[in-house]
Amino acid sequence: MKRQLPNPRELLELMQFKKPDLNARRRRLDAALTIEDLRAIAKRRTPAAAFDYTDGAADGEISLARARQAFEDVEFHPDILRPAERVDTSTTVLGGTSALPFGIAPTGFTRLMQSEGETAGAGAAAAAGIPFTLSTLGTTTIEDVKAVNPHGRNWFQLYVMRQREISYGLVERAAAAGYDTLMFTVDTPVAGARLRDTRNGFSIPPQLSIRTIANAIPRPWWWYDFLTTPKLEFASLSTTGGTVGELLNSAMDPTISYDDLEIIRSMWPGRLVVKGVQNVPDAVRLIDRGVDGIVLSNHGGRQLDRAPIPFHLLPQVVREVGRDATVMVDTGIMSGADIVASMALGAKFTLIGRAYLYGLMAGGRQGVDRTIAILRSEIVRTMALLGVSSLEELEPRHVTQLRRLEPMPLETDPAAR
């Protein structure tokens, strides 16, 4: 091979120097290519108590680990020679449209993670054309979320509390503000054992200790935001003191029943969804009671540890009630591929919670925009590689759920014991 001295002009053509971005927030968000990348940024920038409240789950956090593992154990089956040059990610859910097959799930204490809180989530949802769900334990009012997202789809998540009048008042306010869907949550009769929160002394308002101060010293930006913005408190509740478990146990009521569901159904003019369904018989009973949809969810692993994996339940529930109601799923979703797999197995919609909060902690409103952009690109790419151009073309044949955990057979013969 004949060699020659490098030509400076040719070298300049080969080496294009990237113009530096002086905006630190935009720079770190642009470097995040996955939700896990956003999680890493969030962990660096957020005090341990607030980060662990988002990141953690109940007891040994087995439910959360299993839910995420279930999505990792998906095998896709692409079709070849089926061009999908233009991928349509839009869908219809609960009587309205969504530009993407996911919405933002209800999260409590959101302004503690980052001062923009629910306004960042609602604003990003409005820009993306997807639904936003406000929690009963949110830190922004029903009316203020509506003001941020006046023309988009707002959903409200309801806990039925010991003082029923409080819950009824929230239902009336959400209806008056034009929210189109009520999400009745049934998996929190009492608080789960969230051990990270207990170890961190996590409470509302935050309690200072030598440990929390030491942890916060490298994160002055979080404290600046926290101390220079309006007081952190529940926007819908008057009681705000105590640990998370104490707050939940004082507000929630383990006696809630189908009678409460009937009362809420009679009050609510829009679509009614029950969140926290974890078995097939309950799904069937709820649809027979006339609810419009269900969310298969174990509360992100934050209530009963070792609870069923929602993604594993999905095919069975869709077979039983999918023709009669909207079946949605959450818990463990960390990528667009997880969402595509859920839609292929019959889900009409999905919800993201931690993924949204990781973006919020990483960069406020811009971080939530980045979360949505990452998931959107992953959805489009996964669908194109599968050879499908629309969500309607996704079918169960596109996905195999590989199972690590198989139930042991039940002993039916007493003599076998």
Give pLDDT, residue 241: 52
Give pLDDT, residue 240: 47
- Classify residue 407: in a domain, yes or no: no
In order, the DSSP letters of 334-372 are -SHHHHHHHHHTT-SEEEESHHHHHHHHHHHHHHHHHHH
**Residues 261 and 164 sit within 8 Å (Cβ to Cβ):** no
Give pLDDT, residue 180: 97
In 3D, which of 147, 330, 354, 172 has the Cα closest to residue 156?
172
Q: Is 398 annotated as a binding residue?
A: no
Token pair 């540890």 is found at 305
Task: Split the chain (417 residues) into runs of 10 and give each run's mean pLDDT.
Answer: 79 74 89 97 92 95 96 96 90 97 95 94 98 95 96 96 90 97 93 87 67 76 82 69 62 88 96 97 96 97 96 97 96 98 98 98 97 98 96 97 82 54
Look up 151 and say whether it is catalytic.
Answer: no
- Classify residue 18: in a domain, yes or no: no
Give pLDDT, residue 53: 92
- Classify residue 151: in a domain, yes or no: yes
Kindly report the number of other CB atoms within 10 A of residue 105's CB atom.
29
Q: Is 159 annotated as a binding residue?
A: yes
Q: Is 312 annotated as a binding residue?
A: no
CB burial of residue 170 (10 Å; 0-12, 13-18, 19+): buried
Give pLDDT, residue 9: 78
Can you list the alpha helix ranges (DSSP code H) found in 272-323?
280-288, 310-321
Give the dihedral sign, CA 26/28/34/39. Answer: negative
In 3D, which of 129, 139, 175, 128 has the Cα closest to residue 155?
175
What's the gap between Cα 250 and its chain centre?
A: 25
Give pLDDT, residue 414: 53
pLDDT digits (tens, 9 = 90+) for 191-249: 888 899 888 877 666 666 667 667 777 888 887 888 888 887 777 766 545 556 666 66
In whole angstroms, give the CA distance from residue 315 to residue 332: 17
Give pLDDT, residue 411: 62
Provide the CATH number for the domain around residue 208: 3.20.20.70
Q: Is 179 annotated as a binding residue?
A: no
- Classify residue 204: in a domain, yes or no: yes
Q: Is 224 annotated as a binding residue?
A: no
Give pLDDT, residue 204: 62
Domain of residue 230 covers: 37-401
- Classify residue 253: in a domain, yes or no: yes
**Catalytic pick among 77, 151, 299, 398:** 299
Q: How far apart are the first and last CA of the chain?
A: 79
**Residues 366 and 128 sit within 8 Å (Cβ to Cβ):** no
- Classify residue 15: in a domain, yes or no: no
Give pLDDT, residue 20: 80
In order, the DSSP letters of 35-92 are HHHHHHHHHHHS-HHHHHHHH--STT-HHHHHHHHHHHTEEE-PPSS---SS-B--EE
- Classify residue 306: in a domain, yes or no: yes
Q: How many domains does the chain have?
A: 1
**Amino acid in the structure at residue 8:** P
- Classify residue 205: in a domain, yes or no: yes
Give pLDDT, residue 412: 58
